[in-house]
Structure 1
């Protein structure tokens, strides 16, 4: 895939233009990395080409022409006053408007950048702005010094997308990781600190938290991911662990709600169903890349059935508790247990919804291909700690009743995310919303 990078100068926002035989252009390279969230290699390539360091702000636009696929990213020089390569020029808005660029897409992206300087887009992630990274790095340095860590290498930006910006710092005590979240997810650091304190089996404590700015500094939690592990016994053990903690937290939901996490108890979900259906229709009603007409009709027909499903599930009297919300790819294996990380989707809700991202409809079944009964075993492991509250048979019935609503819960999570990020950042997440809407239709007998 071809990557193009608009480099902005921090002191005035002017952009670096390079001469070419077809007109003016911007730095470019062919990337083997296809995940637009990963930006470390972009900064490394800009350093190689231009001789100075950059921060990648975001992916501005992407497209394809036949087999030619491309993306244009926005980045900023880390320092003021950096000269460009021979023949290059830093160009302001007026100059850029009269220059002949090799590609109309590049010209349009540069024009959009200058327009945004005057009128920043609503709900834009903080790290999309020049200067944010410098302030974050100062905070990182202060916190490392406060905790007795000595940096051994420059701070390296790893990812930047609509939901987070992550950076890595090599230190004398091992790697340390920084994560910045958008304002509507700023509760994550506060929650992780509370989880580490009250539920230490789930998570080692972060090094530092700035809950107001949504900043987290974490030790290296390891790299052995549960969703890549073929040993089903480890899966079962991890699910028992989170389930036991959830049983313990039933009596503490008032505390967790006081930390301003979303309230998705069944009664609240009932109130959200009709607005959710309307929003999904408005956002996804596209027969080519979104919902077909028949799918939209099927979704509309689910309003009352979903409300009745919530009422039926409530009759089993399984209590609400702390729900991580996205277990599927966010469990690490460690020697003494497991680390449950990435708590941005945390809420108070029905505990059985936790299994939605673990079920065979989501995780890569090839990992547990030698266990044809994997889904049943994982369900039973998760339900085991709840057996102290009701007979196993009734738990199984409640679990089956929860399955369509688990997909509904995930749909609500994605809609919550999409309505809190800037419109041009939504395409990278709309696929997740579409996946869960279709999963919901299937589990309700309305889809293939």
Structure 2
């Protein structure tokens, strides 16, 4: 067993201990044996971070990956089991799941969309095919909101978002006060003054709810966009209005391509996604509103991810909240 050097923390100390590594490797082997798969290589630990660790092993059928998320995102383990049951065509099928230990063993899914395509020039066309598949996944999951909550997915539906804004302001208030930055304090004060407006807009958002990946970009999509792809890395996901997923999916595309959200390179995949739900022209305002409200969920997801090691991204939750000043996030045709 080999392991890399990593930041010191309670979780990383546990995950790098000989006892934990031995137990995890034994469990990995047990799951492979039960599935009729033979391991042919050493178990290694290529990733060790405060928010999770990953073990890797080569088998006669290719590489396998054991993922152990930190407590803040351990819901990803039972979530994989649910997704494999409801939307198996769009997710990796776990070889083994141990909810009590917080471990999931996954097959290798091949290169990511970003690795497959290389330069961003082809990403827009690929997402024209990929995003409708993601939209169908969300549609199929809509009847399973209760199951998603039972798996541990955080509730970020419109009805609870005013209270979520208060949570976000509490944590960003501590950051602003301790940062010594007048800009941070001004940002926090401005968002604090938007509570009533935010609550009113939440009440205006149509009542749809599904799984929001919350970090959907080309590095979290596996497979050939000409066929059926797989979506993975669900540790940031929440239960929210489905359209809020486009906050990252289309926002990151616009940034990578250095174009405006109204550019055809963003509009085409946007409309392809919306067509799964209805007439895109009728849904643009709902998309904008869902993404605007989704910034609060995104801020809280940032905090969840950074809680064990804020580092250089410590200001990301407040920066995300401050972007509420952009009233129209993705634009309209």
Is the shorter-chain TM-score for this pair beyond 0.5, marking a shared fold?
yes
Alignment map for 1:55-94 (pairs within 5 Å): 55-56=3-4, 58-60=6-8
Task: Tell me how far apart the structure 2 counterparts of residues 306 and 149 of structure 1 sit (CA, whole Å).
Answer: 55
- Tell me the CA shift for residue 321 of structure 1: 1.6
The 5-angstrom pairing of residues 96-245 of structure 1 reads 126-226=14-114, 229=117, 230-245=122-137
CA contact (8 A) 2:64 2:107 kept: yes
Aligned to 2:314: 430
Q: How does 1:342-353 map to 2 (within 5 A)?
A: 342-353=233-244
Greater fraction of residues in helix = 2
SS of residue in 2 equivalent to 1:201: helix
Q: How far off its partner does 1:267 sit?
A: 2.0
Whether 2:201 is the aligned partner of 1:312: answer yes
- Alignment map for 1:401-412 (pairs within 5 Å): 401-412=289-300
Post-superposition shift, 1:428?
Answer: 5.7
Maintained 8 Å contact 1:356/1:406: yes
Contact 1:186 1:214 (8 Å CA) reproduced: yes
Cα distance in 1 between the residues matched to 2:134 and 2:304: 24
Superposition deviation, residue 343 in structure 1: 1.0
Identify which of 366, 377, 382 aligns with 2:273: 382
Identify the match of residue 255 of structure 1 among 127, 147, 155. 147
Q: 1:208–1:431: structure 2 CA closer, same or farther, 3 Å change rule? A: farther
Cα deviation for residue 131 of structure 1 reads 2.3
2: distance between equivalents of 1:430 and 1:59? 16
Structure 1 residue 339 corresponds to structure 2 residue 230: yes
Q: Which structure 1 residue ranges, 4+ long, deviate > 6 Å from structure 2?
A: 121-125
Give CA-to-partner distance per residue, 1:243-273, whole Å, 9 cap, x none.
1221232222122222222111122221121
For residues 312 and 259 of structure 2, the distance between their equivalents in structure 1, rounded to whole angstroms, comes to 28
1:443 maps to what in 2? Answer: 326
| 1:330 corresponds to | 220
The structural deviation recorded for 1:373 is 1.6
CA separation in 2, counterparts of 1:432 and 1:226? Answer: 24
Q: Is the 8 A contact 1:227 1:367 kept in 2?
A: no
Q: 2: distance between equivalents of 1:416 and 1:122?
A: 16
User: RMSD of the alignment, in Å?
Assistant: 2.9
> How far apart are the structure 2 equivalents of 1:321 and 1:248?
9
When residues 194 and 327 of structure 1 are mapped into structure 2, their CA distance, relative to the original with a 3 A threshold, is same
CA distance in 1, matches of 2:146, 2:313: 31
Count residues with an aligned counterpart.
321
Query: In the alignment, what sits opposite 1:275?
Result: 167
Q: Larger relative CO (CA 8 A, sep 6+): 1 or 2? A: 2
Provide the secondary structure at the position in 2 that maps to 1:337. coil
On the 8 A contact 2:124/2:266 being kept in 1, the answer is: no
> Equivalent residue of 2:76, what SS?
helix
Change (3 A) 1:434 1:155: farther
2: CA distance between counterparts of 1:58 and 1:374? Answer: 39
Distance 1:222 1:216 in 2: 18
Q: CA deviation at 1:194?
A: 1.2
Match of 1:373 in 2: 264
Mapped partners of 1:367, 1:141: distance in 2: 46
**What SS does the aligned partner of 2:90 have?**
coil
Q: Tell me the distance in 1 between the aligned counterparts of 2:33 and 2:196.
A: 53
Question: How far apart, CA to CA, are the structure 1 residues paired with 2:159 and 2:235?
Answer: 22
TM-score w.r.t. length of structure 1: 0.64
Tell me how far apart the structure 2 counterparts of residues 428 and 206 of structure 1 sit (CA, whole Å).
33
Q: Does the Cα contact within 8 Å between 1:196 and 1:205 map onto a contact in 2?
A: yes
Q: Looking at CA atoms only, which structure, 1 or 2, has the larger radius of gyration?
A: 1
Distance in 2 (CA, whole Å) between partners of 1:239 and 1:311 is 29
* SS of equivalent to 2:155: coil
Secondary structure of the 2:250 match is coil
Distance 1:427 1:323, change over 3 A: same
